[in-house]
Amino acid sequence: MPRPDTLGRLDRLDLLASRLKADEPMTVAELAAEFSVSPRTLARDLALLRDRGLPVETDRGRGGGVRLHRLWGVGRLTLTAPEAINLLVSLAIAEKMSAPWLLANLAPIRRKLAASFSPALRDQIGGLRRRILIGASASAQVVGGFRPPDQAEVAALFSAFLEQRILAFRYTGAAGEERSRQVEPQLLLLNYPVWYLVAWDIDRAAVRTFRCDRIRAARAMPDRFALRPPETFAEAVAGVEALHP
């Protein structure tokens, strides 16, 4: 059986790899203190990262520096599923807007990025891309009442969306009334710059659409849900397209 701290160690390895990729001066002692482990444990973690293919270099001695090989580059970029989705969404938004300051076609960049993902990551995010929709820009009237949502609300919503968990929140309607809702966060729709949550409302047993900037006190619940057939939401998302494959 795995040791009780296995998950914690895996998380630490991911954080350690990210820390090394920041390309900042650091030593074994500094990293050990930062991650609250002994230098010996930190040395074992670095050895595991080498076994994973990360070109970690260390200087000898107690104050020895730690770094990645100078030729390490973006060709070996490692992303988590949420990071990959965020990057793909950003590229899709830029393409949709036909931003004049982008001198190159972004499609080749997007394809190279997707090709660099591991097979496991491609499988993991493949279904998510079909659940993120890009529509037309929001109207001037909608933008006039838009306020960027709180980051804590966004994090809770995105977590529930990724993990297919019930989302509970307080929602302020167009007339200013506030009500508690529990929903299945099935789809995300962007009418730039406004994000909408297209969900199955559990109490009303119906499809409902919520502006993300009007969501308050969001929290992901323990209960999971299954994705509903696409035709369930056909009317709510008519005329918009899924995130580019």
Annotate 175-243 with DSSP letters as a single string.
TS-EEEEEEEEEEEEEETTEEEEEEEETTTTEEEEEEGGGEEEEEEEEEE-PPPPGGGGTTTTTT-EEP
CA proximity to 191, closest of 234, 129, 239, 245:
239
**Any idea what DSSP says for residue 138?**
P
Whether 2 and 9 have beta carbons less than 8 Å apart is answered as no
Domain with CATH 1.10.10.10 in the chain: 6-75
- Just give the CATH number of 6-75: 1.10.10.10
- Widest pairwise Cα distance in the chain: 67
The contacts of residue 105 (CB under 8 Å, 6+ apart) are: none
Supply the pLDDT for residue 245.
47
- Per-residue CA distances from 145 to 16, 53, 140, 218 (Å): 42, 49, 9, 21
Supply the pLDDT for residue 24.
76
Supply the pLDDT for residue 117.
73
CA proximity to 190, closest of 212, 168, 208:
212
**Any idea what DSSP says for residue 160?**
H
Whether 31 and 66 have beta carbons less than 8 Å apart is answered as yes
Supply the pLDDT for residue 184.
98
- Per-residue CA distances from 88 to 35, 70, 114 (Å): 31, 27, 8
User: Please, what are the averages of pLDDT over each run of 10 residues along the chain (245 residues)?
Assistant: 56 82 80 89 87 77 67 58 79 70 68 73 76 88 88 89 95 91 96 94 96 94 95 90 62
**Any idea what DSSP says for residue 147?**
-
Residues 123, 183, 228, 225, Cα dihedral to 10°: 60
- Per-residue CA distances from 66 to 46, 54, 119 (Å): 9, 12, 30
